[in-house]
Structure 1
Amino acid sequence: MTHEQKRAWIRLVVAVVAYAAYVVAVAIRTDAHPLVDVRYVGPLLWSVGAAIAASIVVEIAIGVANPKASRVVDERDREIGRLGEHVAQSFVVIGAVAAMLMAMVDWDTFWIANVIYLCFVLSAILGGVAKVVLYGTGVPRW
């Protein structure tokens, strides 16, 4: 397994775990109150920060565990990275358009922030899945 393939797996797993933890943290805070009244900013920021930190720490740990592993990025890795990012970018656009429309009709900031975060997470998941699948099946030749 190449270093880039390991990185794709790490980021995929971290995105899912971090978002799940965020959803649980927000759900715990509801206490029979409407969702829009939940204090979500702290858990959202902690979730994003923890995801970034966890990705870095796990990548370092894997590098320390196997210091002689090659970190060379070849043409196949670059192509898989490019294709994965192209696939994932659709959810970033969907999230931006959804947030813009929600702001135009004065939706609560809770919903706007959460749709943006959800779409970032879906983008990370979709991009990660695409990369993992491409590493397993190979890059299609058109």
Structure 2
Amino acid sequence: MAFEEKQAWALAVIAVAGYALYVVLVLTGAAGRPLVDAPYVTPLLWTIGLGIVAGIVSGIWFGIAARDDGLQADERDREIGRFGDHVGQSFVVIGGVSAMALAVVEAPYFWIANVLYLSFVLSAVLGSLAKIALYRRGMA
């Protein structure tokens, strides 16, 4: 398995696990109150921060393993990486536009922040899944 495919798997798992933890923390913090009144900023910042650190650590880990195995990225890996990044970036754009629409209608900050966070998670997960699919099925 290529270093880039391993990294895609790791980022997808990290994003899903981090978001699941965030949802549990927010729902627990709501404790029967409306969601917009739940404390969300601290769990949001911690799960995003921990996700970034976990992504960096996994990249270093797989990078060292790839170097030790003598593996290097080739043109196919770069093409797959670009395609997966394009898929992921589209969800960041969708999330940005959605957050802007929520801001225009003066939605609570809770919903704006959560739309942005969800778009980042979808970007990471779907971009990673696109890369994994291309590694498994090949590029046409």
TM-score normalized with structure 2 length: 0.93
In structure 2, what is the Cα distance between the partners aligned to 1:139 and 1:65?
Answer: 25
Deviation, structure 1 residue 56: 2.2
In structure 2, what is the Cα distance between the partners aligned to 1:45 and 1:78?
Answer: 31
In structure 1, what is the Cα distance between the partners aligned to 2:61 and 2:81?
Answer: 22
Amino acid at match of 2:39: R
Runs of 4+ in 1 over 6 A off after TM superposition: none
Asked if structure 1 preserves the Cα contact closer than 8 Å seen for 2:3 and 2:62, the reply is no
TM-score normalized with structure 1 length: 0.92
> Normalized per residue, which structure has more helix?
2
Deviation, structure 1 residue 65: 5.8
CA deviations over 1:7-53 (Å, ceiling 9, x no partner): 11111110010000100110110111111111101100100111111
Pairs aligned (count): 140
* Structure 1 spans left out of the alignment, 5+ residues: none
Give the aligned CA root-mean-square deviation in angstroms: 1.5
Residue 68 of structure 1: SS of its match in structure 2? helix
Asked if structure 2 preserves the Cα contact closer than 8 Å seen for 1:3 and 1:70, the reply is no
In structure 2, what is the Cα distance between the partners aligned to 1:47 and 1:109?
Answer: 18
Superposed, 1:15-94 pairs within 5 Å as: 15-63=15-63, 68-94=68-94
